[in-house]
Chains A and B, each alone.
Chain A
Amino acid sequence: MAARRTRGVTGSDLSRTTVARATAIAEQLRYECSILLELYAKKESFVVEVADGRLVSVPPPSSQLDTRDKLWRLHSALLQCRSLLESAIAREEEELGGGEKGDYETQRNMVKSSLSFLLITTGELLKAADGAAVPTPDVEGLESGGSTGLFALKRWVYRIFKEVDYWTKTAITTLQALPSVIVKERARSGRVRSVRSARR
């Protein structure tokens, strides 16, 4: 992180088109997440909000973070979400699968696909912002916390779905705030370059 933060945002190729596309994908993902949560809550008769803490571990949000760091933080969180989601799907199939596939399974795969699209787009944005690559999260540490039993598995899966929903909303907020920031930082970086060239 320290190394990342020392790097400036220069020559950013972020385009409004990419941001808009990422925002649209995030909007779609949020819609699909809401349906998935609804289907799952109905299927499992879950009526109480799961009050457990976050499963995704990223640096806390701060107004001091620049665009690149915000993108990095978002991308990292979404990467963890995808890993969690894949793990949840695998565990579900292993423990509870085997029967006929229904709407829930279809919606689950749609969320997974949309999340992957969003990750690709945010990855492009991060790359354009000269952000550092985000390491693949360690899924082992994201397992259901050692709780045994299928009920714990269901709770864990539900938490993952809510986590994806949360980070999807965060992505929308971050991406919608992104274009103006990029413009400012582009202007600022432009001024820096002109000053540097003048000094030469």
Chain B
Amino acid sequence: MPRSKPNWSPLWLTCVLLGLTAVHAIDVLTVPQQVSLSANTSTQQLAISWLGGAAATFDLMILRTEFNMTVFYDTVSATVNRESGRHQWVWTSVEPLECTSLSVRIRSRDGETTSDWSHTQILQGNDLPSYEKIQVLPQDRIVPVGANTTFCCIMEEGKQFGIIKYGNTVMHETRLSRRSYAVTAVNQGLSSQSGTNVFCYDKLKSNSWGSVVFVGYPPLPSDFVCETHDLISAVCRWNGGRDTRLYGKRGTHYTLNNRKCDFSSTQKRDEWRVAQWEGNWTLVATNPLGRHVLTDSAELRHRVRPVAPESLNSAVHAWNATVQWKYDIYSSLALDCQVELSSQGYKTKRTFSGLGLRSVVLSDLEPDEDYSVQVRCGAQQNFWNWGSWSKPLSFKTNAYAPEALDVWMWINKDYTAQVIWKPLTRRQSHGLITRYEVTFWSPEENRQRTEFFLPDTSAVLINLTQIATVSGDDKVTATVIARNAAGVSQPASVHIPLRLTDVEPGPVARAVYTDSGFPLFWQRGDNAACAYVVEWYEASCKWDCPVGWIKVAAGTTNVSVESADFQPGVMYDISLYSITSEAPELLQRWQGYMQELVPSASVSLSTTQQGSDILLAWGEIPLADRRGFLLGYNVYVSSGSELTLLANLSDLGSREYTVKGLSEGSYKFTVKAYTSAGEEAGVTASITLEPYTDWLILEILASMGITAVFLVIVTFVCYKKRKWVKKAFYPDIPEPKLPGDWSRSQEPLDVKPSPHSLVHMVERPEWDSSKEVLIVIPEEEENEDGLGDEPADTDEPASLRYYNHVADERPIRPRFPDSSSSSASSLDSARTDVTYTGIQTSGSSLVFQLDPQGSSEGHQPQADLSFCRGGGGGGGGGGGGGGGGGYRPQMQSRAPSDDTDLVSPEPFFEPQAASSGGYKPQSSWHLDSPVEAGENDGLAPSLGSPTSITSTQFLLPDGEEHADERRSSSAATWFTNLLSSTKP
């Protein structure tokens, strides 16, 4: 407080002033006193108040008491409470205030001058030893989405901290004190209905505790509007907006005009009723995270929305019905009411108006039809909104007589006919059809006959021939009516001609389908047609065809024919008839496709080779498979996978094509028919163009035939001239004449033939079979030049040893004459005293065996001296080929090695084995070759061998010389054998 001393000197005055100023300054910056702390744990705010003198700013320091860690230090401007004179400042803590003890100190500040710090004031936390249990703070916090919340865990006394989890996430902690740890969840997302749990575990996870935090949105309702249903009360509705994710106690609360909307647990929280209309409305939505206000204002008459009509009932007739309902509260209100009529799945709305409207008449209904109606109303003036729909009312209209039938006819080729009619739809029936009644009558004869048919009948078959025989009229009339419970339909008639003509009215035109069907045009006829009938059916159908038809009024000259039955790819015959008092008259015909498709079947293709040309021919595609108007055929030849167009044939009548000038080889041809929709898949035929094989075969056959004929002729001629042939080629051989006595003992007669014959052949006229004969024994000859083993064709005579021995009683003659006529004639003589049957060739003698017994071991051949079983096999000493064998005397012993072969029962020898026999020809004459020697059935051994009457050796033919009968055979027989041997 300043004081003045007026009488003091200036120096003293200055000093005093300075001193007073200093004292004053000290007095202003007083130390804050009576510091008081007030904590709001829910908001985590700490209100600090103190008495602090005149200072306007203060330094404020907040520390965590236990660790003496500063959490806040700043200069603040505190407000002064006028009543209490205390300064106050509020600090908001990041952590809950209970997490740990906080120390608060304050000092006054004036510029750079500060007072001393006040006494430390401590806000005790829950981590004091007196609170032993584990704690997690804050509890049950509710925060908006995206907020950051710090949680602290105060561990149980004596336990070691473990972890803190936010939901399932382990958080990074900060130590606040000895027992307190904090974590911060940032940008928190929406929690579940029961909130997000924060867990705190000790080190051993033996104990845990936690907290729950709810993260959601503040309320945001919309579309708030109030209306009246009963002209008195109000119903206010709104849209709750997004889900706040806060429920139950934390959910949104509403107040309407400051009155709490106390919803039940099952009640929707978007509508509230007020008993009296108030005009102005305010809706406040509140939850722990915020509030939202909506308003509405309107007059009662402008917000009328009538309730749903109740107690609907109806009075029903065939064609109309009256619907009534209760609506007492709107008797003075002009209403618009909508009636929704439902039938067969279709709904129509009709609107009616009236003051206090309570009934409507629904006209134009269908008989025997099920209907369902619903009614709703709205205010006619100041229309606000339609009321709710009433509950549906169902009724069925009464039945009524059916509509008249649409009758037509179909006549088959055999003069049977069908009276057909279109079945009545449900709408046309006006009730369940019980039966159809068809009456046939002849107007001129006035006779009629009625038949009844079941409701599912739509066609009746009649025999026109039968009717025509009993009726003199040229037509019969069929009248059809339908009957239901309410009555019968108007009769519908059709005249059926009894005398049919096949006269076509003209050429069949082609009808082209359009979006509206087949457009048909015709000339107005000069007959008295009362109507026309356009009839159509599938062109491929021939019998009792499904027919469609429409009736066209007289005077009409065009119509468009459309049917749901039209199918793509099907040809339809369309006919126009005029309807008169007589039978219908065919006026015009069309054919057309609703849509042309490619043919569904292919042609049947055949190929024929014509020299170097190929003729392709194919059949016609059946009408049902054409599926369009055929425009032509494409002929392709396929080369690999590609088709090459050969020809495009637009002439449908010609179904063949000739491909000319082809070379030899295989060809594939494809023929495809086509319509305007394209060509069908086609059919492929293959053909191989061959050379003139037939001619070649014919030539071969002709040659063979000619050869055969020639041989036959030659044979025939030879047979006819066999005597001549014999004479010419096989003359008799004179017997040799033998001077002297030849009947000495049977000893070998060694003859050394000279190069010329040493034997005189004497021909005797008679042959004594018992006379001994000489047997020529080939003499072992020393081959002077060392080539005796080798076959050689030589004429050098061999040394012969004639053995006087009775060989056989039969005449012996060589079977095959040699080409040398002299030798042949000498050998063939039966009167020859010296026979040559013992003379063998190395080849033939081993091949033929006349008598198998004669060849057995130890049995000297008697009958066939020429045959020697000779030790064929090995006796020859392995001379190799047949040429290696020479003639040996029969009396000579065989080689010991032959024993095994001799006892062999084998009667025949293979040619090769024969050629290896040990007999060597006595002479030096040999077969031409070893091969020839091996042949046992040929003529080679004898043909060409030097045979003459003086010859001492012959190459005898095999086999036949052992056959008795053949010994006496003639040349004809030989020739016959020759011919027979040539046969296969």
Q: Which residues of A contact B (CB under 8 A)?
A: 43-46, 48, 51, 93-100, 148-151, 154
Contacts and interface: CB of A to CB of B under 8 A. Distances in A.
A61 B211 CA distance: 36
B199 to A, nearest CB: 7
B892 interface: no
A44 B210 CA distance: 11
Nearest to B246: A98
Nearest to B166: A45
A46 B206 CA distance: 14
23 contacts: A44-B194, A45-B167, A45-B197, A48-B201, A48-B205, A51-B206, A93-B248, A94-B249, A96-B247, A97-B247, A97-B248, A98-B248, A98-B251, A99-B193, A149-B139, A150-B139, A150-B140, A150-B194, A151-B140, A151-B209, A151-B210, A151-B212, A154-B212
Contacts, number: 59
A97 B195 CA distance: 11
Contacts of B207: 51
B193 A151 contact: no
A151 B139 contact: yes
Interface string B234-253: 00000000000001110100
B248 A95 contact: yes
A146 to B, nearest CB: 12
Given A96-B195, A150-B139, A48 B212 contact: no
A154 B248 contact: no
Interface in B335-392: none
B135 to A, nearest CB: 10
Contact of B212 (A97, A100, A149): A149
Contacts of B835: none
B247 A98 contact: yes
Interface string B180-213: 0000000000001111010101000111111110
A174 to B, nearest CB: 31
Contacts of A44: 194, 197
Nearest to B214: A150
B136 interface: yes
B206 A150 contact: no
Contacts of B165: 45
Contacts of A150: 139-140, 194-195, 212
Interface residues of B, number: 26
Contacts of A51: 206-207
Interface in B224-267: 247-249, 251, 265
A93 B265 CA distance: 10
Contacts of A149: 139-140, 211-212
Contacts of B206: 51
B212 A99 contact: no
A92 B139 CA distance: 17
Contacts of B205: 48
B136 A151 contact: yes
A46 B194 CA distance: 13
A100 B251 CA distance: 13
B140 A45 contact: no
A78 B388 CA distance: 51
Contacts of A151: 136, 139-140, 197, 209-212
A51 B202 CA distance: 14
B666 interface: no
A158 to B, nearest CB: 11
B140 to A, nearest CB: 5
Nearest to B201: A48
Nearest to B251: A98
Contact of A48 (B139, B195, B208): B208
A94 B209 CA distance: 22
B130 interface: no
Contacts of B193: 96, 98-100
Nearest to B167: A45
A45 B208 contact: no
The 7 closest A-B pairs by CB, nearest first: A98-B247, A98-B248, A99-B193, A149-B139, A150-B212, A99-B247, A96-B194
B190 to A, nearest CB: 12
Interface in B638-684: none
Contact of A154 (B197, B201, B249, B265): B197
Contacts of A43: 192, 194
B875 to A, nearest CB: 112
Nearest to B137: A149
The interface centre, meaning the residue of B136, B192, B206, B208 with most chain A CB atoms within 10 A of its CB, is B208
A136 B209 CA distance: 32
Given A45-B168, A151-B139, A94 B194 contact: no
Contacts of A48: 199, 201, 205, 208
Contacts of B168: 45
Contacts of B201: 48
Contacts of B140: 149-151
A71 to B, nearest CB: 36
A76 to B, nearest CB: 31
Given A96-B248, A151-B209, A154-B197, 17 more contacts: A44-B197, A45-B197, A45-B199, A46-B197, A48-B208, A95-B248, A95-B249, A96-B194, A98-B247, A98-B251, A99-B247, A149-B139, A149-B140, A150-B212, A151-B136, A151-B212, A154-B212
A95 B142 CA distance: 13
Nearest to B208: A48
A49 to B, nearest CB: 10
B558 to A, nearest CB: 67
A7 B195 CA distance: 52
Contacts of A93: 248
Contacts of A95: 248-249
A151 B248 CA distance: 16
A97 B136 CA distance: 23
B197 to A, nearest CB: 6
A127 to B, nearest CB: 37
A89 to B, nearest CB: 13
A45 to B, nearest CB: 5
The interface centre, meaning the residue of A44, A99, A151 with most chain B CB atoms within 10 A of its CB, is A151
Contacts of B211: 149, 151
B151 to A, nearest CB: 11
Contacts of A45: 165, 167-168, 197, 199
A40 B212 CA distance: 15
A94 B265 CA distance: 11
A44 B191 CA distance: 11
Contacts of A94: 248-249
B285 to A, nearest CB: 15
A11 to B, nearest CB: 49
Contacts of B251: 98
Nearest to B138: A149
A191 B336 CA distance: 91
A97 B249 CA distance: 8
B551 to A, nearest CB: 65
A98 B246 CA distance: 9
Contacts of B136: 151
Contacts of B212: 149-151, 154
A123 B427 CA distance: 68
Nearest to B249: A95
Nearest to B243: A99
Interface in B100-139: 136, 139
A27 to B, nearest CB: 30
A94 B208 CA distance: 25
Interface in B898-952: none
Nearest to A148: B139
B953 to A, nearest CB: 125
A100 B265 CA distance: 12
Nearest to B165: A45
A105 B194 CA distance: 12
Interface in B516-556: none
Contacts of A98: 193, 247-249, 251, 265
Nearest to B245: A99
A98 B287 CA distance: 14
Interface in B128-187: 136, 139-140, 165, 167-168
